Amino acid sequence: MTSILYIHGLNSSPDSLKARQLSAAMQRLGLAEQLRVPALHHHPRQAIAQLEQAIAELGRPVLIGSSLGGYYATHLAARHGLKALLINPAVNPHRLFDGHLGPQTNHYTGETWQLTEDHVAALAALEVPAPQDPARYQVWLQTADETLDYRHAQAFYRACALRIEAGGDHGFQNFAAHLPALLAFAGVPASLWHDLDFSDL
């Protein structure tokens, strides 16, 4: 049975809405043990070490990455030859932090930390070329993302299967309605979920 590794974004956590909805769906399917949603350290080197450990435990998980988690997922998918579904992913995030170094607060835990040049350098070290194997990737974008310009991801992942929806936001509105498509991509048998309604999650 497929395992799934969900990778949250910057200043997010396993308590984010998408993470909670995916966890609830996997629980409903009796597959909770097949999902990992680690609470990632804010520093990229430590976050990647956590994710590498989760991959080792799960075998060959399907990666689900949101925002900065999409950048991490792209790196890890390239390194390990894994499938990845990316939701409003950050592209070259190390180039987005000009003027943004300094104090940060995790939206869910309240943890405060300092974004430094070392964080940016660690992010730059994870950069990989645009994927050329479209079968291993899906990229879900909403055009009204208020944090990232969806067109950057549209261009970077142009060889991949793109799902671009008008409107929405950075959190990706109506994520629960897309769970069947996520489960299908992850290889979860349709017989387990095709009769289920996830809209109440």
Pull the structure tokens for residue 121.
Answer: 């350098």
Question: pLDDT by residue (tens digit) across 101-154?
Answer: 999 999 899 999 999 999 999 999 999 999 988 889 999 999 999 999 999 999
> Are the C-beta atoms of residues 8 and 23 closer than 8 Å to each other?
no
| The predicted structure's pLDDT at residue 1 | 67
| The predicted structure's pLDDT at residue 200 | 86
Domain boundaries, the chain: 4-190
- Averaged over 81-86, what is the pLDDT? 97
State the amino acid at position 124 in one-letter form.
A
> Are the C-beta atoms of residues 90 and 67 closer than 8 Å to each other?
yes
| The predicted structure's pLDDT at residue 78 | 96
* Three-state secondary structure string covering 146-181: CCCCHHHHHHHCCCCEEEEECCCCCCCCCHHHHHHH
Pairing of strands 112-115, 137-142: unpaired
CATH code for the part of the protein at 4-190: 3.40.50.1820
| pLDDT confidence tier of residue 96, bands split at 50, 70 and 90 | confident
